[in-house]
Amino acid sequence: MKFLLPLFTFLSLSLVSFSQEKPYKIADNPYDNDLLSKEFHKGRRDEFRKLMPDKGVAVIFANPVRNRNNDVDFEYAQNPDFYYLTGLNEPNAVLVIFKEDTKIDTLDGNELIFVQNRNPLRESWTGRRFGKEGVKKQLGFKNVLLNTDFRKTGIDFKKYKEILHPFQYNDIRNDDEDSGDLYDLVKAFDQNTEKYSANKNFKSFDDIMAKLREVKLPEELTLMRKAISITCEAENELMKAAHPGMTEYQSEAVVEFFFKHRGAENEGYPSILGSKENSCVLHYTTNRKRFESGDLLLSDVGAEYHGYTADVTRTFPVNGKFTEQQKIIYNLVLEAQSAGIKACRKDSIFSVAHLAAVKLISQKLLQLGITKTEGSFRKYFMHGTSHYLGLDVHDVGNRGTLQPGQVITVEPGIYIPEGADCDPKWWNIGIRIEDDILITAGEPENLSACSPRTVEDIEALMLQKNVFKDLK
């Protein structure tokens, strides 16, 4: 990078800018007017507090900054639990929630947040920070301290019967120039709670977060509908654009163009675009093969909008016409998926869609002669049918009974790789159909029904023109 400052200048300016926080005027977000409100995040903290044990304290850290290579980091991705409870998308921060009101030093209340200081020099490179005043005004916190104060703030952990916290992975790097980075925050927490390790409990923390996050509030559903709508449009445009001679990476480019074009910040997970033999690899992300006439393309993609992700899979022939064998397996998977969706009713067990799909797939594979016993379906359908969806693509939840407000996927599949113990006419047919289902008080709602699922509708859509069809 040719714009690096001389080291002496950088260190000098850094020391000056770290010395004190400089106030600045904070405007409402000038780019997006549909972010979750500070009232939403405060409400989530209040609900978390209600579920905490008496004389409990919770300590939640922001995600680490992760290195890509050399001096280049990955784009920052916040810890979803931390974002859910705060709305803050910055690293090197820690949230402390108390069950009961408490007084610490000169502060009183039931929560504290520690954040990174303003630093004009660094902000000119990596973007504006909230700082203490920004977090107070924009995120509605009363007690805000700098992250460098976390070690010396007088939180007496021996007073608390339970210390709730998320499990900390070991991918935290130490920045020797920053005494308030995540490495130092976690180190301080571990040292201050070392004598009370028997009271530390990450399972209770996970259980509370799963209970809160598995049911989406209306504000969250609005963002999820947006992410899913964008994803459906991208899938539809890819169907129209696909043709023999195109590559998997070009199909990925089509999908992710529409994500960005419609306002999604990111993809919710690495896009899976697997053709022919690659359609039988569940989490295939190499995306380098060139399409040949007769290939199936399995497109498992999801746009992420304001933190919430979609997860939609469509499988279709790149030449626009299913073969007879492809059509048979496709309709089998579609029938299993429809049975699974229909079963997703309030108070049903979480695995109800999987049980419905397995029953149908195991019987039909046997009838087709692809398997020799009902139990051997697992060779060709080896994954579960549902997971929660939200801030994570595999979102947290307790997998109890289905309740209104939960969003789950229903995604059966059949994958018959070359060399499988069946007639070769079935080889290299990998099909998954996945939709995002909202549990309601009545019929389940398919949020991704805006992308076609039947053979006839897919083939009809693929006849339509698309700007990418003739792109060389």
β-bridge pairing 303-305 and 308-309: antiparallel
Handedness of CA 256, 257, 261, 265 (dihedral sign): positive
Cβ atoms within 10 A of the Cβ of 344, count?
24
Across 124-261, where does the E strand assignment appear?
A: 144-146, 162-164, 200-201
Decide: 362 and 372 in contact? Cβ < 8 Å: no
Which string of DSSP letters, residue by residue, matches 79-134? -HHHHHHH----SS-EEEEEEEEEEETTEEEEEEEEEPPP-HHHHHHH----HHHH
Q: Which residue, 462, 436, 20, 48, is CA-closest to 228?
A: 436
Residues forming the active site? 71, 283, 300, 311, 383, 387, 394, 411, 415, 432, 434
Decide: 242 and 462 in contact? Cβ < 8 Å: yes
Dist. CA 449–CA 445, nearest whole Å: 9
Dist. CA 361–CA 416, nearest whole Å: 13
Dist. CA 178–CA 235, nearest whole Å: 44
Q: In which residue are the tokens 């780019």 written?
A: 31
